[in-house]
Amino acid sequence: MLWIILLLFWIISSIKTINSKDMAVSVIIPAFNEDRTVGNVIKAVKSLNYIDEIIVVDDGSYDKTAEVAVKAGAKVIQHLKNQGKGSAIKTGFNNSKGDIVVFLDADIENLTSKQVDNIIKPIIDGEADLTKTKFKREGGRVTELTAKPLLNFFFPEIRFDQPLSGQFAAKRSFLNNIKLEDDYGVDVGIVLDADVRGMKIKEVDIGKVDHMLSSLHELNIVATEVVRTIVDRANEYGRVTMIDSLGRLIRMEILGLSLVFLGVFSTFFIRPIPIQIGFAITIFGTAVTLFYIIKILRMSFNMMRKPGARVQTLKSFFYMHSPIVVSGIILIAMISTLVGAIHFEDGKISIEPTSRNLIIPTNHSNNQTISARGPYTVDSALENETSIIRMPQDAMSTMELNYGDSIYINGTGYSLNQTLSGEDNVMRIPSDSRTYLGLNIGDVIMDSNVRNLFKNLYVEKYLTMQNNSNLTIKEGIILKPAADNASTVNIYLNDQQVASTVGVFKNGTYNVYLDGVLYKSINFNDQNPQGNYTLYYGQNVIKIEIDGQKQSNVAFASSNDGLFLNLAFNNIS
> What is the per-residue pLDDT across 162-171, written as a single tens digit (0 to 9) for each?
777 778 899 9
Q: Could you tell me the CA-to-CA distances from 101 to 309, 389, 457 in Å, in that order?
A: 47, 79, 79
**pLDDT at site 222:** 77
Largest CA distance in the chain: 114
**CATH code, 357-454:** 2.40.40
State the amino acid at position 167 in one-letter form. Q
Mind listing the pLDDT tens digit for each residue in 302-350? Answer: 766 655 445 555 666 676 677 778 888 888 877 777 776 676 655 667 6
Average pLDDT over residues 184-192: 84
**pLDDT at site 320:** 67
**pLDDT at site 138:** 52
- Among 559, 560, 520, residue whose Cα is nearest residue 537: 520
- The rounded distance, in Å, linking the Cα atoms of 465 and 477 is 17
Pairing of strands 458-462, 531-537: unpaired
Q: Could you tell me the CA-to-CA distances from 259 to 220, 283, 327, 369 in Å, in that order?
A: 49, 9, 11, 36
- Among 397, 407, 342, 406, residue whose Cα is nearest residue 366: 397
Confidence category of residue 253, pLDDT binned at 50, 70, 90: confident
Confidence category of residue 234, pLDDT binned at 50, 70, 90: confident
- The rounded distance, in Å, linking the Cα atoms of 168 and 14 is 26
Average pLDDT over residues 240-268: 79
- The rounded distance, in Å, linking the Cα atoms of 526 and 408 is 27
- 383-397, 419-433, 479-493, range with the lowest pLDDT: 479-493
Give the three-state DSSP class for 300.
helix
- The rounded distance, in Å, linking the Cα atoms of 267 and 140 is 61
Confidence category of residue 74, pLDDT binned at 50, 70, 90: very high
Give, rounded to a whole angstrom, the gap between the first and last alpha carbons of the chain: 105
Mind listing the pLDDT tens digit for each residue in 464-500? Answer: 888 777 888 999 999 988 778 888 999 998 889 989 9
- The domain locations on the chain are 23-236, 245-342, 357-454, 459-569
**pLDDT at site 573:** 47
- The rounded distance, in Å, linking the Cα atoms of 366 and 154 is 60
Mind listing the pLDDT tens digit for each residue in 122-149? Answer: 999 989 999 988 876 554 566 666 777 7
Same topology between domain 23-236 and domain 357-454? no
Average pLDDT over residues 211-222: 68
- Neighbour order of strands in the sheet with 75-79: 75-79, 53-59, 25-31, 100-103, 168-171, 130-136, 201-208
**pLDDT at site 207:** 82
Most confident of the following: 13-17, 342-346, 552-556: 552-556
**pLDDT at site 404:** 92
**pTM of the predicted structure, to 2 decimals:** 0.50
**CATH code, 23-236:** 3.90.550.10
